Amino acid sequence: MKIRVDRDACIGAGQCALVAGSIFDQDDDGLVVLLTDTPSDDFLAVVRKAVSLCPAKAIALEE
């Protein structure tokens, strides 16, 4: 899978880092930082959850 994040849309709610902390982090302003953009498929379920919970819809997932 491949993940893209839109830092212009990100509002720093941190939902992604909460459910998938090994893939998403936040910078000092709270905006999303991708730790890896191609995680293994083991993470598919949590990444999907992060995508759906993101209140700003700033995460795109290509499976």
Partner 1 sequence: MISADEPGVVIVGASLAGLTCAQSLRAEGYTKKITLIGAEMHLPYNRPPLSKQVLSGKWQAAQTNIDSTEKFAELQLDFLIGEEAKVLDISAREVRTVNQIFAFEDLIIATGASVRRLPSTENMSRVHVLRTIDDALGLRDALVGIRSAVVVGAGVLGSEVISALSDFGIKTTVIDRMAAPQLPLTGGHFASRVNDLFVEHGVVTKYGVEIVTVSENETGITFVLSDGSSVTGEIAVVAIGCIPNVDWLANSGLDITNGVLCDSNGVAAPHIYAAGDVARWNNPITQRAMRLENQTSAIEQGLAVGKFIATGESSPPNHPFFWSEIYGNKILMLGNLEAGIPLTIVHGSPSDNRFVAATISNGITTGIVGWNMPREFRQSRSMMEA
Q: Is 30 an interacting residue with respect to partner 1 (CB under 8 A)?
A: yes
Options 1, 26, 43, 46; binder of partner 1; rule CB under 8 A: 26
Q: Is 35 an interacting residue with respect to partner 1 (CB under 8 A)?
A: no
Options 9, 22, 35, 36; binder of partner 1; rule CB under 8 A: 9
Contact assessment for residue 58 and residue 50, using Cβ atoms and an 8 Å cutoff: no
| Residue 23 exposure: Cα atoms within 13 Å on the Cβ side | 27
- Three-class SS state of 43: helix
Which residue, 36, 37, 32, 61, is CA-closest to 49?
A: 61
Minimum distance of partner 1 from residue 49's CB (angstroms): 8
Q: Is 42 an interacting residue with respect to partner 1 (CB under 8 A)?
A: no
